[in-house]
Amino acid sequence: MNRIVPVIAIDGPTASGKGTVASRVADSLGWHFLDSGSIYRLVSLQALRSGVAFDDAERLVKIASRLDVTFDGEEVVLDGEDVKDKLRQEEVGNGASKLAAIPAVRSALLDRQKGFRKGPGLVADGRDMGSVVFSDSVLKIFLTASVEARAERRYKQLIDKGLSANLERLVLDLRERDERDTNRAVAPLKPSADAVLLDTTALTADQAVIFVLEHARERLIESRFVSNASDKS
C-alpha cells in the first residue's frame, strides 16, 4: 500500500460547483475536505473588518499568518464566530480574488493548506489545488460552466440565504473575476495538463459527484491506494 496520503484536487472558477461536489465526494469517501477558497475569503473578510486595502501586501500577509480559523462540519469558525454565510458575500469574494493574486499572501497560506492533508485522504477544492498545492494528487478534476449558469447558481445561493443579489451584476463580477484569476502572475486559474475536464453547465450536482467518484475509484485502484471508506451516496 502506498503510504502517501491520497488527494483528490477539484479546481475551477467561481460558482462552477466545485465546493458542493468536493464536499460530497469527501463525505462519500470518508475523507477530509479543504475549501481553499474559504481561506482566502477569510483573509478578505478580516481585511474588510480591519480596513486593510487589498493592495496592502504587508498587512494582508499578517492577517493570513494570524488567522484563528477552524472548519467544524459546515461551520467556518473565525475567532469563535461562525462566518460561513458572511464568506458568501460578493464583496468578500471579490476581495479574495484580488488578494489571491499577491504572491506573498499565497505563500503565507500555502503551508496552512498543505496541513489539511491527513489520512485516510483529502478532497481539496480551489483554483490551484492540482496545479500547485497538491501537484501529486491521485486525481485532478477541473470543473467549468458557462458564466450565465454560474451567475444563476450564485444568485440562487444568495437569495436562498436572504441576501440581496443582482443577476446582471453577478455576470459582470464573474467575468471580471475570471479575467483576474486566469491572468494573474502566480498560480493562474487553468487546468493541469493531467486534469480531467468536466463542464457542469448542464449537469446536476448528483451527476457531477457520480462522475468524480467513478474516476476517483479507478485512480485509487490504479495507484494501489486503499480507501477504508464506504459509499454514502
Residue 14 assigned to a binding site: yes
Residue 44 assigned to a binding site: no
3-state secondary structure the chain: CCCCCCEEEEECCCCCCHHHHHHHHHHHHCCEEEEHHHHHHHHHHHHHHHCCCCCCHHHHHHHHHCCCEEEECCEEEECCEECCCHHHCHHHHHHHHHHCCCHHHHHHHHHHHHCCCCCCCEEEEECCHHHHHCCCCCEEEEEECCHHHHHHHHHHHHHHCCCCCCHHHHHHHHHHHHHHHHHCCCCCCCCCCCCEEEECCCCCHHHHHHHHHHHHHHHHHHCCCCCCCCCCC
Residue 15 assigned to a binding site: yes
Residue 20 assigned to a binding site: yes
Residue 103 assigned to a binding site: no
Which residues are annotated binding-site positions for ATP?
A: 12-20
Binding site as annotated, residues: 12-20
